[in-house]
Amino acid sequence: LEAFGPALAALGFAGARTLARKRGGMFVAACALTWFAVQALVRLFGLYDSGGYARFLAPVAPLWAVMAAAAWDRLLDPQSIRRARMALAIGAVMAVLCVAMELHLRHRDTIDHRTHPHLKADVPRLDEARNAVRVGTVGVIAAAVAVIVMHGRMRRGIPAGTGPLRLVLAVMMALTAWVFHRPLERGPVERLIDAELAWLRENGMGDRPVLCAHVWCAYRTDTALPLDRPGLAARIAAAPAGAIVLWERQFAVFNETPPVELKDLSPPHFRPLAGATGGARDGQTGIWIFEKLTHSERPPD
């Protein structure tokens, strides 16, 4: 839902079988569905510390668009029975996707956000997106049912068009494009990184090398590194005295090999700085800022 939007997601799943029957379509559908299944399993079982990010599905976005186009084309098929079957498939897929979303978010709803405020802040405007999917699901199912009912009444001379369903899907795709066509909202960690970088500039340390495992920091400091770059621990060890280390819990611990723990950045080799928050940090979303005092080619212990 997050990767393609609800309308394209439903159209893609519903159109996979139709596309597979066309020449060369089996290969396209198999590649897209296999990639989706692998990512779903990785997310389900927590393999490779995967976060289940929507960008993981970006490689199959063109293939998904082809499957969605096959479903859309079937909605315009001259044979009413084919249009009705595709409408049924789209409505059923949309219902399954909505139920899957509710199950996925149910655990989040049971968490006490007073003690875990970062979880609600991880996905800005989550409640709005959730309600939008619910409304869209109701609209798609209602339009699909209308197509099926009209197909059953064709003998009475009532045309079985798919106009209402196509209109609902088109509106959903347009709204999805409108929502996505804007700068992404920063999460809590990204906002803290920006605040710490601003604090460094205000305190005369803006020209210091900044080391951090978080991708937002690399983006903000324009220090994008190659894929075969050394790990954070090695970069900290090779950095000169005076370098700044921004440490956060997610990327530094779970995405680095070896992981860089908070205890690794302790005196006498490192000095903690108050930073923009004055030392007050949330246990999950906080940013710890350190100045390296001594130069050593050995990674932190």
Running DSSP on this structure, what letter comes out for residue 51?
A: -
Running DSSP on this structure, what letter comes out for residue 281?
A: -
| Greatest mean pLDDT range, 86-90, 222-226, 280-284 | 86-90
Token reading at 70: 């096959």
pLDDT average, residue stretch 229-257 = 88
| Greatest mean pLDDT range, 13-17, 47-51, 192-196, 287-291 | 13-17
The more confidently predicted of residues 159 and 92 is 92
Per-residue confidence band for 67, with pLDDT thresholds at 50, 70 and 90: very high
- Collapsing DSSP to helix, strand or coil, 291 comes out as strand
Q: What is the pLDDT of residues 251-274, one digit of tens each?
A: 888 778 888 998 899 888 999 998
- Asked if the model's pLDDT at residue 211 lies above 90, the reply is yes
- Collapsing DSSP to helix, strand or coil, 209 comes out as coil
What length does the chain have? 301
Segment among 106-110, 167-171, 254-258 with least mean pLDDT: 106-110
* Pick from 236, 1, 178: nearest CA to 97: 1
Question: What percent of the chain is modeled with pLDDT above 90?
Answer: 47
Residue 121, pLDDT score: 47
Residue 215, pLDDT score: 86
**Who contacts 68 (Cβ-Cβ below 8 Å, separation ≥6)?**
8, 11, 12, 15
Residue 280, pLDDT score: 56
3-state DSSP helix/strand/coil percent for the chain, to nearest 5?
Answer: 60, 5, 35
Residue 19, pLDDT score: 96
